[in-house]
Amino acid sequence: MFITFEGIEGCGKSTQVRLLAEELRRQGYEVTTTREPGGCPIADKIRAILLDATNTAMTPLTELLLYAAARSQHLHDTVRPALAAGKIVLCDRFTDATVAYQGCGRELDRTLIEQLNGVATGGVTPDLTILMDCPVEIGLGRALARISGTQGAREERFELESLQFHEAVRNGYLALAAGEPKRFAVVNAHRSIPLITGELTTLVTARLTGADRVL
Ligand code: TMP
């Protein structure tokens, strides 16, 4: 089962990926956690270019192509092998992030994005996508607080975008979820961490055991 996590900056997805993985492993499942951009050595190098706050001259098209390149390598090196081995793959961001950020945020052509997503994934699509939704001011506030406490490589190229950009991304995600209600589960991320982990565990184990299937 391939499960992706999406949401604006600071929505708490990375924490939930880690906690859900721990819970599923406790239940005996084999789980691989990964993220985009990144998730394998070559894609991690592309990530460093994409998120480097000093790369102010990067064009939106270059950005889109780099996400596609990183994704292609990540599928090849990490996602496909794990799925083929029967593992549950929990992936922090995937193709929906490109539609939300490069499509709704940067306003790049939607057809081009969908074509590139198709080429990069070779048709691999998530079985379930969890959209962690929270107001932009809340998410960005958390993300910026995290950055100010971080040392080393500065990965804040997107956090530095305007509030309007992040609103467009959030609305883009909500529109995607509304368009594909079977694949998406929208989770209120403006709550305590244990409450959210509990909800996600129930949701995912119901999918894994088929308990949520309507006969
Ligand atoms: P994160 O690891 O904090 O989620 O950072 C990844 C950043 O990359 C985040 O700002 C969203 C952005 N992103 C895109 O713009 N397009 C994409 O396709 C992906 C996967 C991420």
d(CA 108, CA 117): 13
Q: CB within 6 Å of ligand 1 — which residues?
A: 9, 35-37, 51, 67, 93, 97-98, 101-102, 158
Q: Supply the residue whose CA is at minimum distance from atom 9 of ligand 1.
A: 158
Q: Tell me which H or E stretch contains 3.
A: strand 2-6
d(CA 109, CA 99): 9
Query: pLDDT tier at 34 (50, 70, 90 boundaries)?
Result: very high
Per-residue model confidence as pLDDT tens digits over 149-194 = 766 666 777 777 889 999 999 999 999 999 999 999 999 999 999 9
| Ranges of H-type helices in 103-192 | 110-121, 136-148, 163-179
pLDDT reported for residue 191: 95
Query: pLDDT tier at 215 (50, 70, 90 boundaries)?
Result: low
Q: Supply the residue whose CA is at minimum distance from atom 13 of ligand 1.
A: 97
d(CA 215, CA 210): 11
pLDDT reported for residue 152: 61
- Domains of the chain, with CATH numbers? 2-206 (3.40.50.300)
Residue type for position 116: L
Q: Is the pLDDT of residue 144 over 90?
A: no
pLDDT reported for residue 158: 79
d(CA 183, CA 201): 16
pLDDT reported for residue 208: 92
Nearest Cα neighbor of 35 from 69, 66, 68, 5 is 5
Q: Is the pLDDT of residue 209 over 60?
A: yes
Angle, vertex CA 205, rays to CA 202 and CA 208, nearest 5: 150
Per-residue model confidence as pLDDT tens digits over 86-123 = 999 999 999 999 999 999 999 999 999 999 999 999 99
d(CA 98, CA 62): 13
Q: Is the pLDDT of residue 143 over 90?
A: no
Q: Supply the residue whose CA is at minimum distance from atom 15 of ligand 1.
A: 101
3-state secondary structure of 131: strand
pLDDT reported for residue 210: 87
The model's pTM: 0.95
146 or 123, which is more confident: 123
Q: What is the dihedral of CA 76, 81, 83, 86, to 10 degrees?
A: 180
